Chain A
Amino acid sequence: MRTVIRQRPCDSLDDISHQLREAFLALRQAIEAENPVVIVVSAPDLLGQDSLEGAALATGLVGLMRAATFEGSGKGWRVNVLAIDPEAEPPAEMLDIATQNGSLNGQILNLGSGHFGKIVP
């Protein structure tokens, strides 16, 4: 079993709070169930190229992933971020890689070409 947490379109501060809390609770539940987790974020939001709210949310979710792997990599917690086009569905093979490769943890897997030449946070 794996848990997939997906960023939704976000256009308000309340929604940032709501989606981060939802992700935090889902992440905690997955860890308790010993499920690997993939957090799917919008690639343009990760680069700050779309809305202010979306950018804060996407990088907030990355922070959640980093906090979880920092705290739990030694206990076997596995959490990665997959950044994709907001209109796209996450490819199943990438979800497999993000959850089944034992040495891949705490990483951002960035699909698409928007990050070429850019700093990824």
Chain B
Amino acid sequence: MKPPCALVTGAAGGLGFAIARRLSEAGYALLLVDMNPAVSDVAARLATAGARFDHCMADLSTEDGITAVSEAVLATCLPLHLLVNNAGITRDARLQKMTSENFDLVIEVNLLAAMRLTLGLASQFADGSSVVSMSSRAALGNFGQANYVASKSGLIGFTRALAQQWSPRVRANVVSPGLVDTPMTQAMPDDVLAKLVQKVPAGRIGTPEDVANAVTFLASEQASYITGQVLTVCGGRSLAP
């Protein structure tokens, strides 16, 4: 029997890899997409774990990139059972020092590219399939991230509208991670990171696997009655003072 197919964007990053690996364990065949050539390394690592996959290098902020992904889906991943919009960037600066260029770039990559890809693949989705988009706890507000917060908040609005328009054929949900152990947090000074962890009621930093588990759940049959929702994976940080 042919396995269900999942497309994961931003697959070369730490979160993308964890999501891809978890989905593979759940029985998905994978199409991994990233503009970073390291996506082929990710594919190689997954191959050693027995995953079924293809990969595609594409810049999703361009029409050519969307076309390349659409062609890859047609060639290897039909019908599409799951799209994970995981690609994202940051260009942080205080609001008064943030440039228009960096504001536009983050909106383009984090919000518009995800919308463009989702809508471009509209006819490729199987009945009962699902879109999971990665937002962030920061969508509720964060320092020096006006561009990022607007983009990740916009993704929530898009998903809520998509859920209503594409039901019952396709479900759409959002995962909003909080503080997670990634190369970005690993680059922080130890004392800064420790202070951030102190604010997490769960008492620890999240792992990429925590996030991957949430994505896999929302994509699964167990979540078949869930659409248009935001699952915040932040150890309670979005509630605590």
Instruction: Identify the A interface with B (CB < 8 A).
Output: 13, 16-17, 20-21, 24-25, 27-28, 31-32, 45-64, 66-72, 106, 121
Q: Is the CB of A52 within 8 A of B141?
A: no
Instruction: Identify the B interface with A (CB < 8 A).
Output: 94-96, 98, 100, 103-104, 107-108, 111-112, 115-116, 119, 139-165, 228, 230
A28: chain B residues at CB < 8 Å are 95-96, 98
The 3 closest A-B pairs by CB, nearest first: A63-B153, A59-B157, A48-B160
Nearest opposing residue in chain B for A77, CB measure? B95
Known: A13-B116, A31-B96. A66 touches B141 (CB 8 A): yes
Q: Is the CB of A71 within 8 A of B146?
A: yes
Between B107, B108, B142, the greatest number of chain A beta carbons within 10 A of the residue's beta carbon is seen for: B107
Given A24, A51, A54, A59, which contacts B156 in the complex, CB threshold below 8 Å? A59
Given A16, A49, A57, A66, which contacts B149 in the complex, CB threshold below 8 Å? A66
Q: In the bound complex, what is the Cα–Cα distance between A58 and B160 (angstroms)?
A: 12
Q: Is the CB of A59 within 8 A of B153?
A: yes
Nearest opposing residue in chain A for B229, CB measure? A119
> Could you give 5 example pairs across A and B, Cβ below 8 Å?
A17-B104, A28-B95, A56-B154, A66-B139, A121-B153
B94: chain A residues at CB < 8 Å are 71
Q: Is the CB of B100 within 8 A of A21?
A: yes
Given B96, B143, B151, which contacts A70 in the complex, CB threshold below 8 Å? B143
Q: Is the CB of A47 within 8 A of B160?
A: yes
Known: A28-B96, A68-B146. A17 touches B112 (CB 8 A): yes
Q: In the bound complex, what is the Cα–Cα distance between A63 and B119 (angstroms)?
A: 23
Nearest opposing residue in chain A for B119, CB measure? A52
Q: Is the CB of A52 within 8 A of B165?
A: yes
Given B98, B111, B119, B156, which contacts A16 in the complex, CB threshold below 8 Å? B111
Given B107, B119, B158, B161, which contacts A50 in the complex, CB threshold below 8 Å? B161
Instruction: Give B60 Cβ to nearest chain A Cβ, in Å.
Output: 12
Nearest opposing residue in chain A for B166, CB measure? A52
A24: chain B residues at CB < 8 Å are 98, 100, 103, 146-147, 150
B161: chain A residues at CB < 8 Å are 45, 48-52, 54-56
Q: In the bound complex, what is the Cα–Cα distance between A64 and B103 (angstroms)?
A: 11
Q: In the bound complex, what is the Cα–Cα distance between A70 and B238 (angstroms)?
A: 13
Instruction: Give A20 Cβ to nearest chain B Cβ, in Å.
Output: 6
B95: chain A residues at CB < 8 Å are 27-28, 31, 67-68, 71-72
Q: Is the CB of A55 within 8 A of B158?
A: yes
